[in-house]
Amino acid sequence: MATTTLGFINNVRNIDAKVLSWMLRPSLWSRSKIRVDLIDSPDLLTPPTSTMTARPDINHPSLPDRFATFQDFWDLHQPTARQLAAIGHVYDRPPLEAIEEGSRCAVCSHFVKREDSIRALEGSLHDHRSGGYSQNFDGFNFHSPGCTMLQTRLPLEPQSIFPGLSGGFKMHDLRRHWEKKSQPPRPTEPAPQRSQTSSLFSLPTELRLEIYARVLPTLDQTTDIVPLNQDSARITTKVGHEKTGPRDLTKCNVLRTCKAVHNEALDLLYHNITYRFASTKTLYLFLRHIGSHGRQLLKSIDVLCGSREDAITFSLLTTCETLRRIRIRLPRPMILWPGAPIWSVDGMGALLMLSGLEEVSFGNCGPKFKTCMDEDKSDAAVLRRELTRPKDEPSRVTWVNNQLNV
């Protein structure tokens, strides 16, 4: 058996206890190299307070080791390299992959071309002319079916955006077709670039920034970023109050006038503003939407973590060079626990790769969680120590048998 799950047990309630005990023997799974994910049957096999998943395989490299294989070879595409390492890929340095340059999964050895990875992990999410993000994932996957690294979820893959939806991207394309009818047509060809002759640019920079501040929408000091629809990659701000009706898409039109105005005014959307996210999936979508320019302006975030998207999200967050403040809401009192699954180990490993921050704080996770990380926990001191260390200082966290040793 190449791939096995225990979901069928839900349909066999009267299975003999001895047979079930034999099936769950660790030696059986280790001999056949089978990984088990018991999420499909939580009521039968999973403890009520935790999620049982396959433990990390000590034979494949840790997250820092995987990322190290890309260094000096993917310098122009650091966001892609960090995301590939987060989802389990390594770079086979030349001449091992001389025929086709790319990366492969360290567990299942599934190979992906370099240009495909860059298109999927750095490509535009909103360019309708190129097909948007659905086109970025057309025709390939990062892992073979049944690979344990599939535990680390990539927010933009079809199975993440449309869980259980057989229509997949077809449903998204259908909805987008009708939404485009209500939007003004976009020019098919870019307008020719012209030198700036507007009298606006004759004003001092301080006055221009004051004008931009009066024109752009006023954001709360802590602004929530929320998904626009539960089954899409689109996000929006949640400011002040809510109302039912069409969205006003004209408030940020000043950013579309020209590149010079865009570059000057964009910083106002990040200055002294903390963006808050209810999941690392939403944070990932935000980081992809704002692009490399926006990531260089992001100063402060507040995020609820502890999900399967942590690894790839925090790996992309490390490319935000000006990030200074982070508020972590972690729904458990410790960084990791004995036997933690791969997605949790790599998620915390990616978070600990952040450095150079000025302020690290911990927040309440809400009424749904009984315990959470707070200032009194010893692991909170470890997180603060690692995230506030200088960028050129090596981490004091080590990896032993693919497990974090803090």
Q: Which residues contact 213 (CB under 8 A, 6 or more apart)?
A: 268
- Reported as a pLDDT band with limits 50, 70 and 90, residue 379 is very high
pLDDT of residue 21: 47
Contact 363, 329 (CB under 8 A): yes
Residue 46 or residue 132, greater confidence: 132
Residue 120 or residue 237, greater confidence: 120
The predicted-structure confidence for 22-38, as pLDDT tens digits, reads as follows 444 444 333 333 333 33
Residue 187 or residue 35, greater confidence: 187
Contact 132, 139 (CB under 8 A): no
The predicted-structure confidence for 303-347, as pLDDT tens digits, reads as follows 999 999 999 999 999 999 999 999 999 999 899 888 889 999 999
The single-letter DSSP state of residue 61 is: P
SS3 (DSSP) at 104: strand
For residue 84, the surrounding DSSP H or E stretch is helix 78-86
Give rounded-to-5 percent helix, strand, coil for the chain. Answer: 40, 10, 50
pLDDT of residue 100: 72
In angstroms, the CA 102 to CA 99 distance is 10
Mean pLDDT of 372-392: 93
**295 burial level (CB within 10 Å; 0-12, 13-18, 19+):** buried
Cα of first residue to Cα of last residue in the chain, in angstroms, is 37
Mean pLDDT of 249-259: 75
The predicted-structure confidence for 47-81, as pLDDT tens digits, reads as follows 333 333 444 555 688 999 999 999 988 999 999 99
pLDDT of residue 87: 96
Domain ranges for the chain, please list them.
59-157, 217-250+272-405
pLDDT of residue 47: 35
Q: Which of 116-120, 174-178, 368-372 has the highest mean pLDDT?
A: 116-120
- Reported as a pLDDT band with limits 50, 70 and 90, residue 302 is very high
pLDDT of residue 142: 92
82-91, 100-109, 134-143, 383-392: which range is least confident on average? 134-143
For residue 227, the surrounding DSSP H or E stretch is strand 222-227
43-47, 249-253, 364-368, 381-385: which range is least confident on average? 43-47
State what percent of residues in the chain have pLDDT above 90: 36
Residue 370 or residue 128, greater confidence: 370
Residue 127 or residue 370, greater confidence: 370
CATH architecture of 59-157: Orthogonal Bundle (1.10)
Mean pLDDT of 256-274: 85
